[in-house]
Structure 1
Amino acid sequence: MAGNNGNEGIRPDWVNKDFYAELGVKKDATADEIKKAYRKLARANHPDSNPDDTAKHEKFKKVAEAYDVVGDPEKRKKYDEVRSLYAGGGFPGGFPGGTTTTTGGRGYNFEDLFGGGGAGAGGGLGDMFGDLFGGGFGRGRTQARPRPTKGADVESTATIGFVDALEGLTISLRLTSDAACPDCNGTGGKPGTKPRVCPECEGAGYIVQSVGGGFSMNETCPRCGGRQLIYDEACPTCHGTGRGTSARTIQARIPAGVKDGQRIRLKGKGGAGENGGPNGDLYVTVRVTPHRVFGRKDDNLTIDVPVSFDELALGAEVKIPTLTGAPVTLRIPAGTPNGRTFRVRGKGARRSDGTTGDLLATVEVQVPAHLDEAARAAVEAYREATADKPLRANLFEQAAR
């Protein structure tokens, strides 16, 4: 879509314009027919293709203006309503070049007719044209209402214990976030002073900038920053920015089963919204301190179980702890290799559906650093008994293949 973008002021004589005729289509033309007609005329009259033809430049602007209205379904509907009202006599005397007309000895001032004539004026046809064209009569613009703005999202980090991460808990978080200045309530003006309409944008909050080729775009007013009003004296606290910081403490629920480094979103717990907008969100990155005995692998807990050589060779039953404190007995078959992992069902981390994972117990042979005389004699006897069964008999042969 080209030309005016729907936010530029409307002139009274626009109501007399036949945008359908400008595009060469019927009033009941389909959206595709309107688009096709616009593209054809825009290509034929584009300033880049006709740099020295002022007539085509003007035609391009008119075509763009027409398509901006009837090419938008909502604007087209309101435009048709206004044209129908005008054709049915709803605007006595028509719309001449000025803003006042007469009929039957009675005068009509368009400032009053469209809600711009006084302090109590408002609504009516002025609202219709304001919605349709984004502007008003008189100054060329209406003062736009401040749009609701969502509050800023806030980031925080929480460090919790290993057991707390598995079971879940509620923690207190001290947050500092962007907020309206507490002294001026976000206006940016010195408390006690009165604002005035920004002379740069005339209270619209934006200015229209031409970008060439009949196109224009809106930019936030550089003087009022989109607030529509300005103060001659800035707030000494925020220096006219209208912003400050807010410190508060909230209660945040950390769900059971949270993992180290997981990022949790708490909806609506972030910065406060503006002009009725919703609050932002709070994102908490959880750091879990490691446990001295247990580890974690997905929804399972892990534990390294120290065992002796004879327990693996001859088999044994050993007790191992669980996170709940109630020990379980691990049955080790004879001939179990070092590093084997056993699974103890239902002794792991709690899942979101209420079930629990398992406990993975890995046996690790512990080699004693010192042996007493009896133990040394026993180990040497074992060595002599197995001397004819070397463990590395085929090691070099396999390595050479």
Structure 2
Amino acid sequence: MAKRDYYEVLGVQKGASKDEIKKGYRKLAIQYHPDKNPGDKTAEDKFKEATEAYEVLSDDQKRQIYDQYGHAGLEGMGAGGPGGFDPNAFQGFEDIFGDFSGIFENLFGGGGGGRRRSGGQSSNQGASLRYDLQISFKDAVYGTKAEVQYSRSESCAACKGTGAAGGSGRKMCSTCQGAGQVRRSSGFFSIASPCPSCNGEGTIIENPCRECSGSGTQKKRQKILVTIPAGVEDGKRINIPRQGDAGPNGGPYGDLFVFIRIKPHPYFERNESDLYCAVPISITQAALGAEVTIAALDDKQLKLKIPAGTQNGKLLRIKEEGVPVQGGRKGDLYIKIIVQVPTKLSSKAKALLAEVSSLEGENSNPTPIALSELRS
């Protein structure tokens, strides 16, 4: 059977860069690796085909020959010959995956015995936990303290987190001889994975603690008081150190991440440090001007002066009645004026309005107003 074009195999163009070739090979190697597809001859053939293509196209000299003469030009060079591809080519592939023994770490359950966590943390640190806390709009603006309850793993008091009963200890794992990992060969690969007997620890507990069954931790209900800062925004994450799960073998606790969810307010809205609300007034208050009292978010009674001739939709501002910000200041409170036109009038009210209309005159041919003016 005629061989496919190497560029076609890797899904790249002929002028592809080395990075593009690496990406193409990596995708195929993970997809068709024999350990992921046990007993699948088609997947194994595709894996070998991709590896052969990469072995050639990653080598500048072989790639140049292939580009000029095709498969025939590579005969006798360790690729494209009777034996398929050169297994020794893998000695230079570490630049694709780092430690090549861990290429398929995600597929087969992790890399070697030296387990690590992101951020350089030791593997024996406990898991961090998440708690979603819903608070009121008012509490988000002015700050509060909230009690949260959740379950977490705590270090077992009986064995002090070691998992071993009093007086006993750990012994070397006989499966991995203390290495914490086992290796298995698949063709030309030797792949390391955590030891199934000791879970990569390298040691096993001789006499497990009865209280925690050897885990070193116990699930317990936790109750703490969380301080919510004034002005907190929806979705904000508050980090509380060492309030997550206890680490194995007496390792340090993880963190608790409290995510803030803010309930909408029926009247107020927020834009950064400013608050907004809408207040209805009568047509006479709008025309003649007035002073009204409105309730602020903190229930304080505020005096608001309505200038004579105020139009519907007018924004009025009360300084420093908004959201607290750094430095002890506050944002502003903006009030949108809604002029309410009465739907029912008494006979006397109608007569009075008719008189006002006669005195002021009515425009029976009004000029349209630009919509952009209404959005300002």
Give 1:385 shift. 4.7
The alignment status of 1:154 with 2:105, answered yes or no, reads no
TM norm structure 2 = 0.58
The code of the aligned residue for 1:173 comes to: V
**Residues 176 and 195 in structure 2, CA contact (< 8 A), matched pair in contact too:** yes
Give the corresponding residue for 1:271: 245
Mapping for residues 44-59 of structure 1, pairs under 5 Å: none
TM norm structure 1 = 0.54
Give 1:219 shift. 0.9
- Distance in 1, Cα, partners of 2:159 & 2:206: 14
- Distance in 2, Cα, partners of 1:337 & 1:322: 22
- Distance in 2, Cα, partners of 1:293 & 1:241: 52
Give 1:383 shift. 4.3
Give 1:291 shift. 4.0
**Residues 165 and 259 in structure 1, CA contact (< 8 A), matched pair in contact too:** yes
The code of the aligned residue for 1:380 comes to: A
Give the corresponding residue for 1:351: 325
Give the corresponding residue for 1:256: 230
**Residues 301 and 357 in structure 1, CA contact (< 8 A), matched pair in contact too:** yes
Which of these residues, 278, 286, 289, is aligned with residue 304 of structure 1?
278
Please state whether the residue corresponding to 2:303 is helix, strand or coil. strand
- The alignment covers a number of residue pairs equal to 276
Please state whether the residue corresponding to 2:138 is helix, strand or coil. helix
Which of these residues, 304, 310, 314, is aligned with residue 288 of structure 2?
314
Give the corresponding residue for 1:136: none
Which of these residues, 189, 197, 200, is aligned with residue 175 of structure 2?
200
| Alignment CA distance shift 1:280-1:241 (3 Å) | closer
The code of the aligned residue for 1:298 comes to: E
Which of these residues, 182, 199, 218, is aligned with residue 225 of structure 1?
199
| Alignment CA distance shift 1:335-1:191 (3 Å) | same
Give the corresponding residue for 2:262: 288
- Distance in 2, Cα, partners of 1:266 & 1:46: 60
- Distance in 1, Cα, partners of 2:336 & 2:352: 27
Give the corresponding residue for 2:19: none
Gaps of 5+ in 1: 1-38, 69-142
The code of the aligned residue for 1:216 comes to: S
Q: What does the per-residue CA deviation read over 1:63-101, in whole Å, with 9 as the maximum and x for residues that have no partner? A: 969xx9xxxxxxxxxxxxxxxxxxxxxxxxxxxxxxxxx
Which of these residues, 330, 350, 362, is aligned with residue 304 of structure 2?
330
The code of the aligned residue for 2:138 comes to: V
The code of the aligned residue for 1:299 comes to: S
The code of the aligned residue for 2:247 comes to: G
Please state whether the residue corresponding to 1:222 is helix, strand or coil. coil
The alignment status of 1:176 with 2:151, answered yes or no, reads yes
The alignment status of 1:378 with 2:352, answered yes or no, reads yes
Mapping for residues 69-218 of structure 1, pairs under 5 Å: 148-179=123-154, 196-213=171-188, 216-218=190-192
- Distance in 2, Cα, partners of 1:231 & 1:247: 27
**Residues 263 and 285 in structure 1, CA contact (< 8 A), matched pair in contact too:** yes
| Alignment CA distance shift 1:345-1:222 (3 Å) | same
Give the corresponding residue for 1:362: 336
- Distance in 2, Cα, partners of 1:242 & 1:322: 53
**Residues 293 and 303 in structure 2, CA contact (< 8 A), matched pair in contact too:** yes
Q: What does the per-residue CA deviation read over 1:368-396, in whole Å, with 9 as the maximum and x for residues that have no partner? A: 34433432332333345566422x54459
- Distance in 1, Cα, partners of 2:170 & 2:247: 23
Please state whether the residue corresponding to 1:312 is helix, strand or coil. helix
Please state whether the residue corresponding to 1:250 is helix, strand or coil. strand
- Identity among equivalent positions (%) equals 34
Gaps of 5+ in 2: 1-58, 61-75, 95-112, 117-121, 372-376
- Distance in 2, Cα, partners of 1:380 & 1:359: 37
| Alignment CA distance shift 1:50-1:267 (3 Å) | farther
Mapping for residues 13-24 of structure 1, pairs under 5 Å: none
Give the corresponding residue for 1:99: none
Please state whether the residue corresponding to 2:223 is helix, strand or coil. strand
Please state whether the residue corresponding to 2:248 is helix, strand or coil. coil
**Residues 216 and 248 in structure 2, CA contact (< 8 A), matched pair in contact too:** no
| Alignment CA distance shift 1:185-1:229 (3 Å) | farther
**Residues 148 and 275 in structure 1, CA contact (< 8 A), matched pair in contact too:** no
RMSD: 4.4
- Distance in 2, Cα, partners of 1:243 & 1:197: 22
**Residues 342 and 362 in structure 1, CA contact (< 8 A), matched pair in contact too:** yes
